[in-house]
Structure 1
């Protein structure tokens, strides 16, 4: 679509006033997310109410205008980029915490609320919302739900989908639907709540969410465990996850990750790989939990195991982990970052396979991430202006996906599909399964106006 119908422009001007933007600055500000993709929309709508969202969707349907919902734009797959033109609907002004209900352990929020702001509001109540992606301070709840964001805590507390109780959403036909509510058991009808979460704005636009909260733990402690090589560390992950105590976080870092940390000033000994293991509980149970995790971490290839029980030591461990992703640019300016998932027992095979791909492509591939869920971030690093490296990096990407699928895994654990992984969906699912997904899309978005060209292969 190259231009907006005059009647459509008039409808949105009357509906939104100055919150309907077509100036160059607004269009450019909403043309990209945290991927490298860029496409200018024809307009930007900034509604303040669900009624306005509903009216916008209905106008888009009537005039055949593509619509991309947008949170804070921190996604990495191009899901918020308006590749089909049309308009961007930003939820930046729908950012109210509507209700905090400590007695029901839930909060009711609008989609534009930032994850970090919600966590601050929950602190006086001794509660938190578990999803903690790396962009937690600045990403929106709506965006978290759209891509089913996770983070290190997901190994114990689950992803966004596991921590939402109900939704109010606007479908592509402009209908307002309500599903779920402030309760944790529900055997009533189809589970539309968890269908919409993770659908990346292709089925419906979330205008309100009831979130499941957890009590803030009284005590936390961490382990730093160094291993001879990645295979030994990966085998330890399987042992840790096979015993009864569930860690709060379990992160894996390969040798290149550790080298990168040292290069950037972190005090990390030389080793083939490292695990960071966190536990939470109360003062009485935490020592037992920590001991059980330490025993499981011991085994062939162990070099050292350190315990961090005080806050500052533990914070240093996790600060090193958080520093990894931005530090990758010191190796090469180009990065393909994928978040494949395999069964925990197949992590050793995934790590070994990625190391083979690195040698084959003659490129550094740095692997780290949420090993407790079998969800590792595979970072292929290259110089975009080097034609050979560029070609080898993009040739390695399908092999990473093929490896994950061969090991019984899947394409994404928390980033979503967007445009980046859309064309690999046909490898991950059978034609019958994809046809079912398309039928659901057709039912909720009959004219295909919501985030067209995303998630499902063309």
Structure 2
């Protein structure tokens, strides 16, 4: 037994899970990291196949006061799935069944290990889709999407994971199986535990089944690409676009540094202060009117040029620049602090101006782009990890970025979650009474504090 766990716990879970109980160092290392580039060795990895397995795992770990960290596909960027206090990582890779697609009710019942991309493929014959579309959609799990309240470009119209889940089955830190919500879209019955658990990053309960709200696939789509003199002009256009009766399906923003990076890497984008990418949806009859209204809203002070693409190949070319941007960041520097901050749409110009001032003050390249319709921008602080001074400047700029966002009535995260990377900034975002209320909720669901300890909530001050 290559583990520090109590022998009784090891024997119980080894008997329960068989080859789904892993204690070798290679498996532990593989399950001890996520896309944050943080890692820590768990004492063991549990791979349950059923909800009953999960109940037994939690009850056994609770009896021995052993921490539990739930894990999806490991694509998170905040360290939420890193077992910093050891214990047992519960991997949901084997709980990967699409239990039922209820097309007539526009919902699907799935286990947490189902991959987002696999679900989308299964829904295509039904003419339906699940709206959350993070950049890792092909390889991330539904459980992880729910744990972090994942979003993506389509969130501007369809909302985040929290807006697209109807019900959950979950196991609390006390080892109790609870059910909340169900295959219906209206519910005024008791407390809304479904939406409380979504976004809680495995700190309140382990989700073992989800009933997801589905949407019909659009019949016709078209794209717009608009270049502006500066971020202020682009942000003003965002407000106009969001005031249209037909909400854009996607509305993405790129700052001038994003555009310069794309040009450096061969993309056909002109020099401009900012760019908006807009996706329109409708029927074959209504799409022309929607497109015309969005095009008119995009026009205004500071507009330099506007491109329209209706057919699929042309739309793909418009969106190629957005898809190429994240990989292109690595050509600037191998180190990246990627924060998914949110401000009111009207404050986007102030955020971009503040980011540019930070870049100058700390002598860093900072690139901002993202989901403008929600005011959710990805601010990327680029640095060379082998340059100690530059690394120090990047990490010194981070609290200043968060202070800027909060001063603009914003919030720390729109879709990545808090995890470890933003935990200690929660005290800046919330007052003591609010944090105490959150801790009380945590204690109610997880009385012994074994679920993902040390994440999301900062330690209480003495």
1:156-177 per-residue CA deviation (whole Å, 9 max, x = no partner) reads: 0000000000000000000000
| TM-score, structure 1 as length reference | 0.99
Q: Is the 8 A contact 1:156 1:247 kept in 2?
A: yes
Specify the SS of the correspondent of 1:25. helix
Aligned-residue offset at 1:317? 1.8
- Name the stretch that deviates more: 425-434 or 313-322: 313-322
2:264 is matched with 263
1:345-399 per-residue CA deviation (whole Å, 9 max, x = no partner) reads: 1111111111111111110100000000000000000111112111111111011
Q: Does 1:181 align with 2:157?
A: no
**Unaligned runs of at least 5 residues, structure 1:** none
4+ runs deviating over 3 angstroms: none
Aligned-residue offset at 1:232? 1.6
Specify the SS of the correspondent of 2:342. coil
2:302 is matched with 301
- Name the stretch that deviates more: 117-126 or 240-249: 240-249
1:48 is matched with 49
Q: Does 1:345 align with 2:351?
A: no
2:35 is matched with 34
Distance 1:386 1:167 in 2: 46
Aligned-residue offset at 1:315? 1.1
- Name the stretch that deviates more: 138-147 or 286-295: 286-295
- Name the stretch that deviates more: 31-40 or 318-327: 318-327
The count of residues paired between Structure 1 and Structure 2 equals 457
Aligned-residue offset at 1:69? 0.2
Aligned-residue offset at 1:54? 0.5
Q: Does 1:97 align with 2:95?
A: no
- Name the stretch that deviates more: 12-21 or 2-11: 2-11
Distance 2:270 2:427 in 1: 43
- Name the stretch that deviates more: 294-303 or 194-203: 294-303
1:273 is matched with 274
Distance 1:361 1:237 in 2: 29
- Name the stretch that deviates more: 265-274 or 275-284: 265-274
Aligned-residue offset at 1:65? 0.5
1:365 is matched with 366
Aligned-residue offset at 1:265? 2.4
What does 1:209-220 align with in structure 2 at a 5 Å threshold? 209-220=210-221
**Unaligned runs of at least 5 residues, structure 2:** none
Q: Is the 8 A contact 1:116 1:138 kept in 2?
A: yes
Distance 1:264 1:45 in 2: 43
Q: Is the 8 A contact 1:133 1:150 kept in 2?
A: yes
1:77 is matched with 78
1:288 is matched with 289
Distance 2:133 2:260 in 1: 25
Q: Is the 8 A contact 1:117 1:137 kept in 2?
A: yes
